[in-house]
Copies of this chain bind each other. A is one copy, B any other.
Amino acid sequence: MKNVRIGIIGIGNMGSAHAKQIFDGNIPNAELTAVCDVNPERLSWAEDTFGDSVERFDTPEAFFEAKACDAVFIATPHYDHPSLAIESLENDYHTLIEKPAGVYTKAVREMNEVAEASDKVFGIMYNQRTSPLYQKVKDLIDSGELGEMKRTVWIITDWYRPQSYYDAGDWRATWSGEGGGVLLNQDPHQLDLWQWICGMPVRVRSFMSFGKYRNIEVEDDVTAYVEYENGATGLFVTSIGEAPGTNRLEISGDKGKIVVEDGKLTFWRLRTPESQFNEEFKGGFGSPESWKIDIPTPGENSQHNGILKDWVNAIVNGTELLAPGVEGINGLTISNAMHLSAWTDDWVELPLDEDLFYEKLKDRIDNSTFVKESKNITLDVDGTF
Chain A residues proximal to chain B, CB less than 8 Å: 150-151, 153, 155, 157, 160-165, 168, 205, 207, 209, 212-214, 221, 223, 225, 227, 231, 233, 235, 237, 239, 241-246, 250, 252, 256-257, 259, 268, 270, 274, 277-279, 281-288, 290, 377, 379-381, 383-384
Contact = CB atoms under 8 A, between A and B. Distances in A.
Given A207-B233, A244-B290, A284-B377, 12 more contacts: A162-B284, A164-B284, A165-B284, A213-B278, A214-B278, A225-B225, A235-B235, A235-B237, A243-B256, A244-B256, A244-B270, A285-B384
Q: Which 3 A-B pairs have the closest CB atoms?
A: A284-B379, A160-B287, A244-B290
Contacts of A268: 244
B252 A231 contact: no
Which of A259, A277, A278 neighbours the largest number of chain B CB atoms within 10 Å of its CB?
A278
Contact of A163 (B160, B270, B278): B278
Nearest to A280: B162
A269 to B, nearest CB: 10
Which of A209, A227, A259, A287 neighbours the largest number of chain B CB atoms within 10 Å of its CB?
A287
Contacts of A252: 157, 242, 245-246
A164 B283 contact: yes
Copies of this chain, complex-wide, total: 2
Contacts of A270: 243-244
A162 B244 contact: no
Contacts of A379: 284-285
Contacts of A150: 239, 241-242
